[in-house]
Amino acid sequence: MRTLVLTEYQRSGPHPLTVAERDALRDLVPGLTVQPASGERDRYVLTPGSAVGVARVGDLTVELRPKVGVAPVLFLVSYALDPRAWKEPKAPLAESENLAEAIIPLFVRAAQQAIRPGLLHGYRREDESLTTVRGRIRIEDQFRRRQGLPLPVEVSYDDFTPDILENQLLRTALDVLGRLHIRFEPSRQALARLHNQLAGITPLLTPGRTVPEPLWTRLNEHYRPAVSLARVIVGRSALEARSGAVNGSVFLVDMNKVFEDFVRVALQGALRLPGRQFPRGASGHPLQLDVEGHVELRPDLSWWEHGVCVFVGDCKYKRTQGEVPNADVYQVLAYLTALDLNEGLLVYAQGEGQPGELTIRSAHKRIHVRTIDVSKDPQDVLRDIRAHRRIGGVRPPPTRSILSR
């Protein structure tokens, strides 16, 4: 097994790749640039984008490491999933661990906590052909398929089974991690034990599709942390992906999405707002820039009071050249214009944009540019967020600080 280590946004040296490996990596890893090396044959220069994680193509494993390190990414992901359940790891991660290796203990621990009382069961509709009647007879199917024959009988019934969406998501995430090249024996053993506990559960076929989310109730709420992490793993992965003659599996995380989710959840917690008032992508509040409704807007950050937006902002993790890109400013300006707000927020990861204020000429709009250094200790990152008392020009009610201490 060959291993190739790449770093987010950094250009690699020339590496030998077969044509099949080259094409498979291009298909499986979003944002990865693969270029022929000058003066070389069958050697390529690779430049990753914002996707980090692990890709396996044949006997080649490619580790795409984040520029901030694995531990900060794990913090951002786990905190965004459930701030109340987040805990700092007991031991620091080894520098040699990739993101897949690091996330396995977190996933296994969450899954074990979820299934400790026993696998969750639920009712699932089954359509079968039986020699006895169970549930109700599907009359139309019976006449169409059996043409008057009494047996077998086309029936539908509700089966009380553990093979339901919540367990299927856990099993699918388990399969994603299991298909990668896991170097550490404790990780392989933990996955094997969990696999035995989930024996008989059907994995989902989700590559290229939206990962479903269960309807949460008091009966399955204890599954939420594990299922949320499973959806992250499954949503960024492709099981048994195939490009030409090479099989491949990937576990990838988009750092743009990770950073956006973390900032939104952290700000929501600091503001002590319920999710409906600080929704993802302004969900539940349709927003268009034009009167005709052709240009839809979905700000990363928005605070709503009685159906009126009182604060808007956007998050950018992407690579910049040290200056705030015009397109980012135009995007926030569009939000301010559509919502008739005077001030907004533009948040960058540390080193991507320079903090400051931007006053838009003739528009009477101001954009506050802020940075968050996610490479710092988690408690320091959260402390930095809480340190701000005023964001985007919005003053909270007297009983609530916009970024409370």
State the DSSP code for 394: B
> Lowest-confidence range among 19-23, 32-36, 72-76, 237-241?
237-241
* Assigned token pair, 301: 């950050």
Identify the sign of the CA torsion 358, 359, 360, 361. Answer: negative
Per-residue pLDDT at 206: 55
Answer whether 312's CB lies under 8 Å from 299's CB. yes
88 vs 2: which has the higher pLDDT: 2
Q: What is the DSSP string of 330-392?
A: HHHHHHHHHHT-SEEEEEEETTTS--EEEEETTTTEEEEEEEE-TTS-HHHHHHHHHH-S-BT
pLDDT score for 315: 92
pLDDT tens digits, residue range 324-342? 678 899 999 999 999 999 9
Which of the four pLDDT bands, split at 50, 70 and 90, describes residue 403? very low
How many residues are listed for the chain in this entry? Answer: 405
What's the pLDDT score for residue 239? 44
Give the tens place of pLDDT for each residue, 149-208.
677 877 776 778 899 999 999 999 999 888 887 888 888 999 999 999 999 899 987 555
Range 366-386 average pLDDT: 87
- The structure tokens listed for 44 are 């390529």
Across the range 206-213, mean pLDDT stands at 68
Residue 304: band (very low, low, confident or very high) from pLDDT cuts 50, 70, 90: very high
**Of the ranges 186-195, 206-215, 298-307, which one carries the lowest mean pLDDT score?**
206-215
Lowest mean per-residue pLDDT among 23-27, 129-133, 303-307, 374-378: 129-133
Q: Which residues pair with 243 in a beta bridge?
A: 246
Residue 74, Cα to own-chain centre: how many angstroms?
12
Query: Which residues fall within 8 angstroms of residue 87, CB to CB, at 6 or more apart?
Result: none
**Helices (H) then strands (E): counts for the chain:** 10, 16
First to last CA, the chain: 50
Higher pLDDT, 90 or 147: 147
* H/E segment holding residue 206: none
CA neighbours closer than 13 Å in the CB half-sphere of residue 210: 3
The pair of structure tokens assigned to 289 is 């820039």
> Is pTM beyond 0.75 here?
yes
DSSP state string for 41-84: SSEEEEE--SEEEEEEETTEEEEEE-TT-HHHHHHHHHHHH-TT
Q: What is the DSSP letter of 219?
A: T
pLDDT over 60 at 400, yes or no? no
Q: Is the pLDDT of residue 112 over 90?
A: yes
Residue-level pLDDT at 121: 92
**52: which 2 tokens?**
């980090």
Nearest to 337 by CA among 307, 378, 309, 365: 365
Average pLDDT over residues 261-268: 92
Cβ–Cβ < 8 Å for 213, 89 = no
Digit-coded pLDDT (tens) for 12-58: 999 999 998 998 898 889 899 999 998 888 899 999 999 999 988 88
Q: Indicate if the pLDDT at residue 386 is higher than 80.
A: no
39: left (phi over 0), alpha (psi -120 to 50) or beta: left
Architecture of domain 272-387: 3-Layer(aba) Sandwich (3.40)
Identify the pLDDT of residue 305: 92
Residues of the chain with CATH 3.40.1350: 272-387
Q: What percent of the chain lies above the pLDDT cut of 70?
A: 82
pLDDT score for 243: 46
| DSSP 8-state assignment for residue 181 | -
